[in-house]
Structure 1
C-alpha cells in the first residue's frame, strides 16, 4: 500500500533534491505518480472484490484452480499467488470452510495436499468474473491502444529492473 496521498510538487522535489542530493528529481516525480496511481488501481480492485465477499488471495486461488482442474498443491498455489506457504494454508482452510475448494492427500507424495475447485467455487467465479471483467474494461477504456501497449512494455521492465537492483545490493 502506498500511503502518500498529498504528492509533492516538482518544485518541492527539486528543493529537496538539492537539500538531500537527489540525482534524479524527475525520476522521483514519475515514481511518486506511478506508485500513487498503482495504489489507487489496486484499492479499487480490492473494493470490488470485497463487494463480492472476496479478497485477492482467494480470488486468485479460485482462478488458479479453475485453470488447473486436476488441482494444485498448497506450495504451487502459494507460488502462483506470491504468498508464503503458511499464508496459503490458512487461506485454503478458510476457503474450504466456505465450500470454495477441497483438499485431498496427494497420491504421489503423502506430505502434500492437492486443492481442487468445488462447484461452489466455480459458481463464485461465474458470479464474480463477469463483474471483474466489466470493471477492468471500463477502467481500460480510458486508455488508447497505443497507451495500453506503452503500459505493457513499461510494466514488463519493472521486475527485471528491481531484480538487477537487488543483485547489485542497492535494495532490500
Structure 2
C-alpha cells in the first residue's frame, strides 16, 4: 500500500537528490506519480466493488478463480492466486462459506484434503459484480487510446521480463 498523498515537487526531489545522492530525480518523480496513481486506482476499485455488491477485492478474486476452476481449488492454491497466506485465505473462505458464496468439499482424490468451489449464490454475486466492474474499468481506461494502452502493457511487461515486477502476468490462462 502506497500511503503518501502529498507528493513532493520536482525542486524538493532535486534538493534531496543533491543531499542524499539520488542519481535519477526524474525516475523518482515518475515512480511517485505511478505509485500514487496505482494506490488511488486500487482504492477506487475496492470502493466500486463494495458499492456494487459488498465484496472485497480478495473475495472478488476468489470468486473469479473459482469460476475459472469449476472442479474446485485448495485453500493453498487460492491463497497463492490472491497473494495472501493460507491462514488468511482459510478465514476468508470460512466467511464466504458462511455467506453461501462457496462450498468446501472433500477432495475426491484425497479424503484428507478439501476443495473450495463456487456455489450458485457465488456465481450470482459474480454476475452482479462483473458488469459494474467492467463499466468502472471501461470508464477508467477511456482516458487512454489504443496506442497508449498498448504502451502501458509493453511497459509493465518490460518490468516483468526484467524480474522487477515478477507478479505481473501476461494474461494467458
Confirm or deny a common fold (TM above 0.5). Answer: yes
**Distance (whole Å) between structure 1 residues aligned to residue 154 and residue 165 of structure 2:** 17
SS of the aligned residue for 1:66 comes to helix
Aligned to 2:21: 21
Matched with 2:38 is 38
Take 1:108 and 1:158, find their aligned partners in 2: how far apart are those partners?
39
Distance 1:28 1:161 in 2: 19
Tell me the CA shift for residue 163 of structure 1. 6.1
DSSP-derived class of the 1:162 partner: coil
Give the whole-Å Cα distance in 2 for the aligned partners of 1:92 and 1:114: 11
8 A contact 1:104–1:115 mirrored in 2? yes
For residue 2 of structure 1, report the CA deviation from its aligned partner: 1.1
Matching residue of 2:64: 63
Q: Check the 8 A contact 1:74/1:112 in 2, yes or no.
A: no
Query: 2:164 aligned to 162, 165, 169, which one?
Result: 162
Residues 59-109 of structure 1: CA deviation (Å, up to 9, x unaligned) = 001001111111111111111111111111111100000000000111212
The residue number in structure 2 matching 1:170 is none
Match of 1:148 in 2: 149
* Deviation at residue 161 of structure 1 after TM alignment: 3.5
CA apart distance, 1:57: 1.1
CA contact under 8 A between 1:13 and 1:25: conserved in structure 2? yes
Q: Which residue of 2 aligns with 1:8?
A: 8
Q: Name the residue aligned to 2:78.
A: 77
**Structure 2 counterpart SS, 1:112:** strand
Query: In the TM superposition, what is the alpha-carbon distance from 1:130 to its structure 2 partner?
Result: 0.4
1:106 and 1:114 in contact (8 A); partners too: yes
Q: Within 2, Cα distance between the matches of 1:163 and 1:31?
A: 13
Question: Distance in 1 between the 2:35 and 2:61 partners?
Answer: 22
In structure 1, runs of 5+ residues without a counterpart are 165-172
Take 2:112 and 2:22, find their aligned partners in 1: how far apart are those partners?
51
State the match for 2:93 in structure 1.
Answer: 92
Does 148-157 or 35-44 show the bigger shift?
Answer: 148-157
Name the Cα RMSD after superposition: 1.3
